[in-house]
């Protein structure tokens, strides 16, 4: 049965607009503590049983064990806590993957795709693990079980049939191992395309672009140890208490060593106020550690205004009292200092401060701390990257670090905090839509074929290409493309225009429900599961947010005998498409991960001796970490002149950011509570300043529709409860992915093309 009714398609594509019974409590001022431990354990016990849970958690993030499937925060290089190296959200991530529930043949027979799509993302995720390959045949209402052979044959036939390899798209989400990602990218390039969008395009792409241009490497420069030694850590546009919980332990260590923390955020997030370390018995009895020394409550996307005010004030102090800037460093290691200083003269400090929305008294406190400090680290995440000026946000932060001489020293530098546990590794081993000539040359040498050279589609371009019918086959290695991407209904149409959509997944998600004419789901092993071939248990390798590569070996029996590892799936797709006699020994490589790693070592710089070095773990080379800028223009780090954002909001418009609750991992919804923000049992909420609510006559829990108006098109998401909250006037916040239908496809960061998920101009109207 095919559905052409527009409204039906609408509910199918986005989370349904049904409400779940909201309760509000006072937001929390501290993170973790006893409640954190309790909630974490409830999740794992419910999903995987108590004994199994304890045995498995004991192996997570430990040497010889498996890497947490949550975020990319690093583990200590040597000493690991006996109380466990994981947090509440790591435990939830494990529970989600190691659940005992299953999506099997009975489930497939019971529900139509249409029916499943009326459930919330929370309900869909809770159905359990995918256990066999399945197909949604053209025009059918149910998925059916099929064999792996038929699945691979179907993919091979579709790919062979395309007019050009550039009609296929190969998406990657950041949970795949280095081995899977390398093989997948190699396959795309052997097949003939660089259409390799990945979740990074929606995430830290702005960081990669800004850091490559200014410091010569698209990754951060610090290690965990540096954070412990920093005099000042600035946490800007990031909510570590929820999204990188163990970062709070590092901030706690920094504070205990005498360091200071400056936080810049429109919201006063719980973990950044106070932290009770669940790994420290003492913290159970004391109040924990106050994390933030100075909180600058900036308006959404006014970080450049704020940073410029800070730079101007620091410069003034340098001129009057001296000793603020590091002139040796500026002279020897950077360029464009004079131009930057001249540009700053164009701004009035008062106007910048007013624009930022922050009080001058608080800014002065931050300036005083920064003035005398040398070892400064700036940490950031999506609050900086997902804006039109995302790249410049980061460049302005780099300006401060360079003027202070804080890059390339112990205890100082850049720290973009990555999202998915191996998103950085996937990029390192070749998931890029703009390949570098040296990697193409190396592939040609090592494998004996000429890889595709032409620039491919990133995420936004992929969606547009599918929408316009220029791309017809969409394959995703993990992720939930539909719900993660912007402009949900447009993206839905794009996927529906395809001939074939394929998801290599662990769990059911909305991308499986809004598909091409034919759709396949290929179930794969999770991180925590044993990966056995020819009787031998295998390990994979991953890279954390700080550039350290290490092993990960699953410990649990797989959710089903019918699962295949990601490298095996990729090798089979490659063989079905390119033939058994292709010049790349696909199956031989997927049989023996050592062989994949040997090839990675041959192709990618920094991985020499991979198989040997990875046993202990190793850091990839990082020029910024050692203060080497020789590859940049004139051999110097680049100071940048950044423009102020220019938002002209009309009287009835607000600036909205889409954020994560404490109970989700991206599009995977663990539960309906956002404990730290005091919101229970509901995700359809919009956080609003109480004075703004008064102004337009809205009361607590009123229901509103949120709409955006870009390029002459209205986009709307309906039925959100208004929640009064401590957020700057004129600003709003709602959760991702419920709010994604209003993020316009064609608006993204200049230079990185990351969608503007954190600064969408919207209007509110009462729901009818
Ligand atoms: N538990 C859990 N962990 C996760 C994830 C998850 O969903 N759940 N996702 C993972 C992924 S892929 C990623 S990328 C990271 C995301 O980690 P974060 O970037 O911390 O996640 P967001 O919720 O998007 O929050 C961004 C923060 O930026 C602030 N912010 C928004 N706009 C602005 C702005 O204009 N200026 C400033 N200064 N701040 C702003 C918000 O108030 C919020 O505190 O987390 C990773 N870890
Ligand atoms: N409005 C708005 N949109 C956003 C964001 C935002 O802040 N606001 N954030 C953006 C960011 S930072 C990111 S990173 C993207 C995330 O985009 P994605 O990475 O595409 O989305 P996830 O929700 O992380 O993917 C979850 C799915 O991955 C699959 N999966 C889980 N583990 C595995 C595994 O080990 N192997 C395989 N093969 N599959 C697995 C499961 O089927 C699960 O349903 O979303 C982006 N979208
Ligand atoms: S901080 Fe991130 S990687 Fe570490 S245990 Fe928590 S979720 Fe997992
Ligand atoms: Mo991300």
Could you tell me where the beta strands, DSSP code E, fall in 237-342?
260-264, 274-276, 289-290, 294-296, 334-335
In terms of domains, do 699 and 760 share one? yes
**Predicted confidence (pLDDT) at residue 6 exceeds the cutoff of 50:** no
pLDDT at residue 4, as a whole number: 39
| C-alpha to C-alpha distance for 343 and 254, rounded to whole angstroms | 34
Q: Quickly count: other Cβ atoms within 10 Å of residue 718's Cβ.
A: 17
Percent of the chain whose predicted confidence (pLDDT) is above 70: 97
pLDDT at residue 1, as a whole number: 30
In terms of domains, do 552 and 678 share one? no
Q: Pseudo-torsion of CA 123, 125, 126, 128, nearest 10°?
A: 140
Q: How confident is the model at residue 10 (pLDDT cuts 50, 70, 90)?
A: low
pLDDT at residue 81, as a whole number: 66
pLDDT at residue 646, as a whole number: 87
Grouping H, G, I as helix, E, B as strand and the rest as coil, residue 543 is: strand
Average pLDDT over residues 540-562: 96
Each residue's pLDDT tens digit, 485-525: 999 999 999 999 999 999 999 999 999 999 999 999 999 99
**Predicted confidence (pLDDT) at residue 8 exceeds the cutoff of 60:** no
In short, whether 87's Cβ falls inside 6 Å of ligand 3 is yes
Domain assignment present for 44? no
Q: Which atom of ligand 3 is nearest to the CA of 85?
A: 5
Question: Is 518 in contact with 583 (CB distance < 8 Å)?
Answer: no
Half-sphere exposure of 252 (CA within 13 A, CB side): 23
Buried b or exposed e, range 691-715, using 16+ CB within 10 angstroms: ebbeeeebeeebbbbbbbbbeeeeb
Atom 47 of ligand 2: nearest residue by CA position: 484
pLDDT at residue 83, as a whole number: 60
Residue with tokens 């990074």: 200
In short, whether 266's Cβ falls inside 6 Å of ligand 1 is yes
Atom 32 of ligand 2: nearest residue by CA position: 506
| C-alpha to C-alpha distance for 403 and 311, rounded to whole angstroms | 9
Q: Which atom of ligand 1 is nearest to the CA of 301?
A: 35
CA of 199 to the centre of ligand 2 (A): 7
Atom 38 of ligand 2: nearest residue by CA position: 478
Domain of 744: which CATH number? 2.40.40.20
In short, whether 675's Cβ falls inside 6 Å of ligand 1 is no
Question: Is 588 in contact with 571 (CB distance < 8 Å)?
Answer: no
Domain boundary among 384, 416, 448: 416
Residue among 618, 606, 611, 604 nearest 539 (CA): 611
| C-alpha to C-alpha distance for 494 and 554, rounded to whole angstroms | 36
Domain boundary among 582, 604, 619: 619
Atom 27 of ligand 2: nearest residue by CA position: 479
In terms of domains, do 445 and 392 share one? no
The torsion angles phi and psi of 85, rounded to 5 degrees, stand at -110, 60
Q: Which atom of ligand 3 is nearest to the CA of 93?
A: 7
In terms of domains, do 149 and 237 share one? no
Going by DSSP bridges, is the β-strand pair 102-103/618-619 parallel, antiparallel, or unpaired? unpaired
Half-sphere exposure of 513 (CA within 13 A, CB side): 27
CA of 67 to the centre of ligand 3 (A): 9
DSSP 667-708: TEE--S-BGGGTEES---EEEE-HHHHHHTT--TT-EEEEEE
Domain assignment present for 329? yes
CA of 666 to the centre of ligand 4 (A): 8
Average pLDDT over residues 468-483: 98
CA of 87 to the centre of ligand 3 (A): 6
3-state helix, strand, coil in the chain (%, to 5): 40, 20, 45
Mean pLDDT computed over every residue of the chain: 95
In terms of domains, do 294 and 366 share one? yes
In short, whether 27's Cβ falls inside 6 Å of ligand 3 is no
In terms of domains, do 183 and 258 share one? no
In terms of domains, do 488 and 614 share one? yes
Protein residues whose CB sits closer than 6 Å to any atom of ligand 2: 173, 175-176, 199, 202-203, 382, 386, 419-420, 477-481, 484, 504-507, 509, 524, 526-527, 566, 658, 666-668, 736, 739-740, 743, 757
Domain assignment present for 348? yes
In terms of domains, do 260 and 321 share one? yes
Domain assignment present for 229? yes
**Predicted confidence (pLDDT) at residue 745 exceeds the cutoff of 80:** yes
Atom 12 of ligand 2: nearest residue by CA position: 203
In terms of domains, do 338 and 484 share one? no
pLDDT at residue 31, as a whole number: 82
In short, whether 677's Cβ falls inside 6 Å of ligand 1 is no
Q: Which atom of ligand 3 is nearest to the CA of 69?
A: 8
Domain assignment present for 84? no
| C-alpha to C-alpha distance for 371 and 356, rounded to whole angstroms | 20
Ligand nearest to the CA of 480: 2
- Give the bridge partners for 503, in sequence order: 476, 521
CA of 174 to the centre of ligand 4 (A): 8
Out of 98, 101, 102, 199, mutate this one to test ligand 2's pocket (max ligand atoms within 8 Å of CB): namely 199
In short, whether 465's Cβ falls inside 6 Å of ligand 3 is no
Question: Is 391 in contact with 752 (CB distance < 8 Å)?
Answer: yes
**Predicted confidence (pLDDT) at residue 140 exceeds the cutoff of 70:** yes
In short, whether 420's Cβ falls inside 6 Å of ligand 1 is yes
The full length of the chain comes to 768
Domain of 273: which CATH number? 3.40.228.10
Out of 421, 666, 683, mutate this one to test ligand 2's pocket (max ligand atoms within 8 Å of CB): namely 666
In short, whether 396's Cβ falls inside 6 Å of ligand 1 is no
| C-alpha to C-alpha distance for 624 and 627, rounded to whole angstroms | 5
Domain of 604: which CATH number? 3.40.50.740
| C-alpha to C-alpha distance for 526 and 506, rounded to whole angstroms | 7
In terms of domains, do 193 and 229 share one? no
Ligand nearest to the CA of 668: 2
Domain assignment present for 642? no
In short, whether 156's Cβ falls inside 6 Å of ligand 3 is no
Q: How confident is the model at residue 3 (pLDDT cuts 50, 70, 90)?
A: very low
Each residue's pLDDT tens digit, 369-421: 999 999 999 999 999 999 999 999 999 999 999 999 999 999 999 999 999 99
Q: Which residues contact 286 (CB under 8 A, 6 or more apart)?
A: none
| C-alpha to C-alpha distance for 462 and 451, rounded to whole angstroms | 20
| C-alpha to C-alpha distance for 227 and 661, rounded to whole angstroms | 26
Half-sphere exposure of 194 (CA within 13 A, CB side): 17
Percent of the chain whose predicted confidence (pLDDT) is above 90: 88
pLDDT at residue 285, as a whole number: 64
Domain boundary among 383, 416, 449: 416
Going by DSSP bridges, is the β-strand pair 260-264/294-296 parallel, antiparallel, or unpaired? parallel
CA of 243 to the centre of ligand 3 (A): 8
What's the number of domains the chain is made of? 3
Out of 71, 475, 505, mutate this one to test ligand 2's pocket (max ligand atoms within 8 Å of CB): namely 505
Q: How confident is the model at residue 665 (pLDDT cuts 50, 70, 90)?
A: very high
In terms of domains, do 143 and 229 share one? no
Q: Which atom of ligand 3 is nearest to the CA of 421?
A: 3
Ligand nearest to the CA of 307: 1
Q: Quickly count: other Cβ atoms within 10 Å of residue 595's Cβ.
A: 15
Q: Which atom of ligand 1 is nearest to the CA of 420?
A: 12
Question: Is 419 in contact with 381 (CB distance < 8 Å)?
Answer: yes
Each residue's pLDDT tens digit, 66-120: 999 999 999 888 766 666 678 889 999 999 999 999 999 899 899 999 999 999 9
Q: Quickly count: other Cβ atoms within 10 Å of residue 405's Cβ.
A: 22
- What are the angstrom distances between the C-alpha of 641 and each of 336, 351, 370, 397, 539? 9, 18, 21, 11, 46
Out of 657, 677, 743, mutate this one to test ligand 1's pocket (max ligand atoms within 8 Å of CB): namely 657
Out of 419, 480, 486, 737, mutate this one to test ligand 1's pocket (max ligand atoms within 8 Å of CB): namely 419
Max CA distance (Å), the chain: 76
**Predicted confidence (pLDDT) at residue 7 exceeds the cutoff of 50:** no
Domain assignment present for 66? no
Each residue's pLDDT tens digit, 581-637: 999 999 999 999 999 999 999 999 999 999 999 999 999 999 999 999 999 999 999
Q: How confident is the model at residue 54 (pLDDT cuts 50, 70, 90)?
A: confident
In terms of domains, do 472 and 563 share one? yes
Ligand nearest to the CA of 246: 3
Supply angle C-alpha 480, 482, 483, rounded to 5: 70
In short, whether 248's Cβ falls inside 6 Å of ligand 3 is no
Atom 47 of ligand 1: nearest residue by CA position: 243
Query: Contacts from 354-361 at CB under 8 Å and sequence distance 24+?
Result: 355/299, 355/302, 355/305, 355/644, 356/296, 356/298, 356/299, 356/302, 356/303, 356/305, 356/306, 356/309, 357/297, 357/298, 357/299, 357/302, 357/728, 357/729, 358/296, 358/297, 358/298, 358/306
| C-alpha to C-alpha distance for 63 and 673, rounded to whole angstroms | 33
The torsion angles phi and psi of 741, rounded to 5 degrees, stand at -60, -20
Average pLDDT over residues 710-720: 97
Q: Residue 40, Cα to own-chain centre: how many angstroms?
A: 21
**Predicted confidence (pLDDT) at residue 345 exceeds the cutoff of 60:** yes
CA of 403 to the centre of ligand 1 (A): 27
Ligand nearest to the CA of 479: 2
Question: Is 367 in contact with 310 (CB distance < 8 Å)?
Answer: yes
Supply angle C-alpha 578, 581, 586, rounded to 5: 70
Out of 390, 480, 717, 748, mutate this one to test ligand 2's pocket (max ligand atoms within 8 Å of CB): namely 480
Atom 22 of ligand 1: nearest residue by CA position: 659
Out of 246, 381, 421, mutate this one to test ligand 3's pocket (max ligand atoms within 8 Å of CB): namely 246
**Helices marked H in 192-263:** 205-215, 224-229, 240-243, 247-256
pLDDT at residue 286, as a whole number: 67
Average pLDDT over residues 198-219: 98
Domain assignment present for 153? yes
Each residue's pLDDT tens digit, 558-568: 999 999 999 99
Burial class (CB in 10 A: 0-12, 13-18, 19+), 337: middle
Range of the domain at 349: 205-416
């Amino acid at each position: 049965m095919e559905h052409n009714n527009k409204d039906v398609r609408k509910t199918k594509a986005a989370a349904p607009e049904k409400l779940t019974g909201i309760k509000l409590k006072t937001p929390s001022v501290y993170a973790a503590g006893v409640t954190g431990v309790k909630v974490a354990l409830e999740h794992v016990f419910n999903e995987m049983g108590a004994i199994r849970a304890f045995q498995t958690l004991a192996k997570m993030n430990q040497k010889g064990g498996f890497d947490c499937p949550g975020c990319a925060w690093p583990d200590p290089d040597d000493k690991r806590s006996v109380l466990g190296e994981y947090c509440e959200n790591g435990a939830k991530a494990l529970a989600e993957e190691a659940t005992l529930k299953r999506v099997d043949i009975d489930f497939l027979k019971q529900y139509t795709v249409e029916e499943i799509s009326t459930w919330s993302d929370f309900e869909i995720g809770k159905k359990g693990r995918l256990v066999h390959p399945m197909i949604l045949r053209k025009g059918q209402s149910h998925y059916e079980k099929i064999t792996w052979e038929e699945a691979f044959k179907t993919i091979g036939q579709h790919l062979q049939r395309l007019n050009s390899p550039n009609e296929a798209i190969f998406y990657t989400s950041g949970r795949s191992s280095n081995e899977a990602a390398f093989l997948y990218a190699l396959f795309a390039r052997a097949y003939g395309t660089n259409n390799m969008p990945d979740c990074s395009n929606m995430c830290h792409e702005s960081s990669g672009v800004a850091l490559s241009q200014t410091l010569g490497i698209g990754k951060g420069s610090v290690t965990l140890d540096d954070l412990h030694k920093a005099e000042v850590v600035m946490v800007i546009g990031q909510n570590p208490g929820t999204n990188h919980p163990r970062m709070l332990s590092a901030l706690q260590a920094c504070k205990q060593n005498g360091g200071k923390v400056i936080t810049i955020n429109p919201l006063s997030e719980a973990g950044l106020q106070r932290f009770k370390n669940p790994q420290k018995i003492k913290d159970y009895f004391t109040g924990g550690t106050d994390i933030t020394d100075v909180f600058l409550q900036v308006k959404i996307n006014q970080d450049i205004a704020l940073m410029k005010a800070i730079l101007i004030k620091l410069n003034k102090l340098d001129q009057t009292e001296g000793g603020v800037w590091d002139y040796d460093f500026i002279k020897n290691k950077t360029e464009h200092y004079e131009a930057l200083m001249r540009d700053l003269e164009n701004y009035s400090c008062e106007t910048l401060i007013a624009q930022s929305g922050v009080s001058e008294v608080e800014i002065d406190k931050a300036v005083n701390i920064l003035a005398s400090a040398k070892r400064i680290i700036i940490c950031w995440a999506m609050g900086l990257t997902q804006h039109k000026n995302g790249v410049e946000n980061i460049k302005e932060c780099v300006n401060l670090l360079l003027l202070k001489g804080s890059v390339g020293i112990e205890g100082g530098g850049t720290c973009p905090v990555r999202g998915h546990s191996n998103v950085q590794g996937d990029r390192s081993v070749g998931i890029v839509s703009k390949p570098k000539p040296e990697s193409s040359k190396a592939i040609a040498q090592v494998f004996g074929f000429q890889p595709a050279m032409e620039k491919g589609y990133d995420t936004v371009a992929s969606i547009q290409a599918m929408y316009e019918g220029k791309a017809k086959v969409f394959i995703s290695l993990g992720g939930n493309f539909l719900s993660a991407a912007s402009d949900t209904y447009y993206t839905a149409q794009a996927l529906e225009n395809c001939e074939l959509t394929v998801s290599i997944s662990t769990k059911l998600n909305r991308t499986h429900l809004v598909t091409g004419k034919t759709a396949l789901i290929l179930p794969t092993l999770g991180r925590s599961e044993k990966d056995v071939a020819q009787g031998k248990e295998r390990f994979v390798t991953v890279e954390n947010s700080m550039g350290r590569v290490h092993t990960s070996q699953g410990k649990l029996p797989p959710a089903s005998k019918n699962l295949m590892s990601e490298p095996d799936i990729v090798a089979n797709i490659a063989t079905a498409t390119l033939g058994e006699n292709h010049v790349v020994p696909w199956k031989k490589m997927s049989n023996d991960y050592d062989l994949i790693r040997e090839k990675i070592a041959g192709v990618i710089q920094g991985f020499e001796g991979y198989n040997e070095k990875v046993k202990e773990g190793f850091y990839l080379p990082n020029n910024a970490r050692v203060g080497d800028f020789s590859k940049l223009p004139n051999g110097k780090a680049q100071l940048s002149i950044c423009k102020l954002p220019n938002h002209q909001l009309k009287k009835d418009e607000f600036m909205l950011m889409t954020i994560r609750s404490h109970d989700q991992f991206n599009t995977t919804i663990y539960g309906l509570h956002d404990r730290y923000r005091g919101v229970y049992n509901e995700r359809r909420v919009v956080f609003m300043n109480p004075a703004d609510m008064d102004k337009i006559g809205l009361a607590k829990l009123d229901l509103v529709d949120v709409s955006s108006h870009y390029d002459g098109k209205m986009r709307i998401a309906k039925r959100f409860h208004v929640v009064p909250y401590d957020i700057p006037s004129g600003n709003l916040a709602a959760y991702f992915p419920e709010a994604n239908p209003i993020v316009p496809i064609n608006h993204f960061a200049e230079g990185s093309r990351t969608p503007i998920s954190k600064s969408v101009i919207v209007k509110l109207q009462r729901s009818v």
